[in-house]
Amino acid sequence: MNHVMLRDIDNWFLNQNEPTKSCLLFLRELILNYDKNITEAWKYRMPFYCYNGKMFCYLWVNKKTHQPYIGVVEGRKLDHPLLIIEKRSRMKILPLDAKQDLPMDIISEIMELALDFYRR
């Protein structure tokens, strides 16, 4: 019998509870398919997405609310009303509700803003 060793990043996704797991898996695919220059990496024990090798965004779950969010690495330099800085110096986050339909238009706006920053 073949035993497939899952990577840490795959285990991270699989160990999330529903509906958060499905939400994060969807976001993973969305981000990876958004631009051919986006790649996935396991950094700081979390799934990170790089654009041309530069850290671009990441997925995480809020410890208190248990809701997933997209963290934007250069968020401080982006202006979008739904990106929240909280106590971070560089990054901003887009909190999401795993029990609701994802705001695809807002996610696309933020992805475009962030990618425009990296493409400059």
Q: What length does the chain have?
A: 120
pLDDT in tens, 78-115: 999 999 998 888 899 999 999 999 999 999 999 999 99
Residue 14, C-beta contacts closer than 8 angstroms, at least 6 positions apart: 6, 21
Mean pLDDT across the chain: 94
Whether 24 and 68 have beta carbons less than 8 Å apart is answered as yes
CATH (one of 3.90.1150.200, 3.30.420.250, 2.40.10.120, 3.40.1710.10) for 8-119: 3.90.1150.200
Using CA atoms, how far apart are residues 12 and 108, in angstroms rounded to an integer? 24
State the average pLDDT over residues 55-64.
Answer: 95
For the chain, the domains span 8-119
The answer to whether the pTM exceeds 0.75 is yes
* Position 73 confidence tier, pLDDT thresholds 50, 70, 90: very high
Using CA atoms, how far apart are residues 2 and 74, in angstroms rounded to an integer? 42
Residue 1's pLDDT is 64
Residue 2's pLDDT is 66
Using CA atoms, how far apart are residues 116 and 120, in angstroms rounded to an integer? 6
Residue 12's pLDDT is 97
User: Within 10 A of 98 (CB to CB), how many other CB atoms are there?
Assistant: 20
